[in-house]
Amino acid sequence: MSRADPFADTRDGDETRVALMEATYEALSKHGYADLTIERIGEAFGKSPSLIYHHYDSKDALLVDFLEFMLDRFESDVALDDGDRADAQLQALLDHALADPIDDDRYAMTSAITELRAQAPHDETYREHFTRSDRFFHDRITGIIERGIDQGLFREVDPDRTAEMLLVTINGAMTERVTTTKEATTRDVREELDAYVRARLLADEQP
């Protein structure tokens, strides 16, 4: 069965798929990965688990499809305006990624993503997804940095290298938030990243 349209054999296939994805999101936020079952997704879906098993072999097959679905939506939703100032775009990206505090829904989803990513070391399909996902965010940041250099706002840094460091720092901070009770982590990282941007990137700043 094609991943792209697992409900092609149902009427209103897309609507059914979207409804299942929403139910998966709801069940994942509520129960977390470890306690998630197809049965619980079926409850949120309001349909029999057997319908889900008809389309997916396992919880993990459904969850990887869910991750891809979310990334597809994100990719098409957040087209950047090339005309905007790159420094403002970078700040907006950091504001969103390192928002503090975050609400319960986002905390639950960050926890779930942390648990899903931890499947990647022993599961190739998860590894492929997080490779694609991290490449997308990496390329997004690289694009902002290249534009900032073109606009004369940023110094002539290596865009790939800079993007990679920003990406793993953001991912590390998000993981830290949901796996420890340390306080002020996100705020400290955000403030130090701002200092890093001033010292390394901004063309008109003296560190």
The residues binding a second copy (CB under 8 A) are: 32-35, 111-112, 114-115, 117-122, 126-128, 130-131, 134-135, 138, 157-158, 160-162, 164-165, 167-173, 175-176, 178-182, 184-185, 188-189, 191-193, 195-196, 199-200, 207
DSSP letter assigned to residue 154: B
Give the nearer residue to a second copy in terms of CB position, either 18 or 109: 109
The nearer residue to a second copy, 20 or 144, going by C-beta atoms, is 144
Q: Which amino acid would we find at residue 201?
A: L
CB of 93 to a second copy, least distance (A): 16
How far, in Å, CA of 40 to CA of 54, rounded?
A: 16
CB of 141 to a second copy, least distance (A): 12
Which residues are paired to 154 by β-bridges? 202
Q: How far is the CB of 39 from a second copy (least distance, A)?
A: 18
What's at 156, amino acid-wise?
E
Q: How many Cβ atoms sit within 10 Å of the Cβ of residue 205?
A: 12
Q: Torsions phi, psi of 194, nearest 5?
A: -60, -40
In the complex, the smallest distance separating the C-beta of residue 54 from a second copy, rounded to whole angstroms, is 26
Shortest Cβ 40–a second copy spacing (Å): 14
Which residue lies nearer to a second copy by CB, 48 or 179?
179
Give whichever of 17 and 68 is closer to a second copy, judged by the CB atom.
Answer: 68
Continuous segment of H or E residues that includes residue 51: helix 49-55
- Report how far residue 112's alpha carbon sits from residue 118's, in angstroms, rounded to the nearest whole number: 10
CB-wise, 20 or 86, nearer to a second copy?
86
Name the token pair of 68: 């891809």
Cα angle 66, 142, 191 (rounded to 5 degrees) comes to 90
